[in-house]
């Protein structure tokens, strides 16, 4: 996958792409990331990217010319309507980003992301250039850059070969629709707080059942909205074959954690 990012602050992305799974994905040629400074597509000596809003009002508006010229110079191919890559505008007014959308973007050969850093962008950019408008949530950021990094992170880890194993991506809570079960590592007793006995039992069926139970309890407590639409079908999240054995309850874990 090729990802092109248009931004006024390309430096903001450095640490992200130079680290961890990105660095490896880029080295393995599974993804390439190109940063374009919108200011490089201006023609005036002040390199003007924004201007006052027609009709008055506070804030500045991102001018159309540099954005159109940047996209058209990096996208020699057709407009998306005729099969070109998606042109995604990061904006608080966009469609809410989700795992489902990440999977959809991960199927593309190419993505072009535009990051605004202003109160707004000229509407003609939305109407005649952009194919998707995306928000990452209902909170105010100072620009689209961090939001773009969130989107890219979620997409790139879904690309085949990027994670160590396919299983890691499939195991993710947002695929089953449940939150993850509690996890423990050594030591078996820490400050008097015990690891649930079932996890030390070596009984894999019972462990699987306990984890599933905990995931459901946790989801019901924290994200009832997720539980309503969770995929509880056997293949995704195996159902126990026999009635549940008594296991450590969430309350008992809480109890133990409070000691």
Selected range binding ligand 9D3 among 36-44, 132-140, 201-209, 241-249, rule: CB under 6 A: 132-140
**Number of chain residues interacting with ligand 9D3 (CB under 6 A):** 15
Give the chain's count of helices (H) and strands (E): 11, 10
Q: Does 90 bind ligand 9D3 (CB under 6 A)?
A: yes
Which member of 49, 74, 147, 156 binds ligand 9D3 (CB under 6 A)? 147
Return the number of the residue (84 or 92) whose C-beta is nearest ligand 9D3: 92
Q: Does 77 bind ligand 9D3 (CB under 6 A)?
A: no
The distance in angstroms from the start CA to the end CA of the chain is: 50
234 burial level (CB within 10 Å; 0-12, 13-18, 19+): exposed
Alpha-carbon span 210 to 247, nearest angstrom = 7
Q: Does 123 bind ligand 9D3 (CB under 6 A)?
A: no
92 labelled catalytic: yes
Return the number of the residue (116 or 196) whose C-beta is nearest ligand 9D3: 116
**What backbone phi and psi angles, to 5 degrees, belong to 4?**
-110, 130
Token pair of 209 as six digits: 């059942």
Q: How far is the CB of 147 from ligand 9D3 (least distance, A)?
A: 3
Q: How far is the CB of 74 from ligand 9D3 (least distance, A)?
A: 20
Selected range binding ligand 9D3 among 90-98, 124-132, 205-213, 221-229, rule: CB under 6 A: 90-98
SS3 114: strand
Alpha-carbon span 17 to 156, nearest angstrom = 11
Q: Which residues in 201-215 are b (16+ Cβ under 10 Å) and which e? A: eeeeebbebbbbbbb
SS3 104: helix
Which member of 10, 66, 116, 177 binds ligand 9D3 (CB under 6 A)? 116
Residue tagged active-site, from 119, 188, 221, 255: 119
Alpha-carbon span 150 to 248, nearest angstrom = 36
The residues carrying an active-site annotation are: 92, 119, 157, 172
- The residue ranges that bind ligand 9D3 (CB under 6 A) are 90-92, 116, 119, 135-137, 139-144, 147
């Amino acid at each position: 996958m090729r990802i092109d990012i248009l931004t006024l602050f390309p430096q903001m992305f450095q640490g992200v792409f130079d680290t961890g799974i990105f660095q490896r994905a880029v080295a393995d040629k599974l993804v390439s990331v190109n940063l374009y400074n919108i200011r490089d597509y201006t023609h005036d000596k002040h390199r003007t990217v924004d201007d006052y809003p027609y009709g008055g009002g506070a804030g500045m508006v991102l001018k159309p010319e540099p954005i159109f010229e940047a996209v058209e110079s990096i996208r020699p191919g057709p407009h998306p309507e005729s099969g070109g890559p998606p042109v995604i505008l990061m904006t608080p007014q966009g469609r809410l980003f989700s795992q489902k959308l990440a999977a959809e973007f991960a199927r593309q050969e190419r993505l072009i992301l535009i990051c605004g850093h202003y109160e707004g962008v000229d509407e003609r950019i939305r109407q005649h250039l952009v194919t998707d408008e995306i928000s990452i949530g209902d909170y105010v950021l100072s620009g689209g850059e961090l939001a773009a990094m969130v989107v890219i992170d979620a997409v790139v880890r879904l690309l085949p070969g990027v994670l160590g194993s396919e299983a890691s991506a499939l195991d993710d809570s947002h695929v089953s629709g449940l939150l993850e079960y509690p996890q423990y590592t050594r030591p078996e007793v820490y400050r008097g707080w015990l690891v649930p006995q079932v996890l030390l039992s070596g009984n894999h069926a019972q462990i699987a059942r306990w984890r599933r139970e905990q995931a459901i309890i946790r989801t019901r407590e924290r994200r009832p909205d997720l539980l309503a639409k969770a995929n509880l079908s056997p293949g995704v999240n195996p159902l126990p074959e026999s009635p549940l054995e008594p296991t450590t309850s969430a309350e008992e874990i809480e109890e133990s954690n409070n000691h």
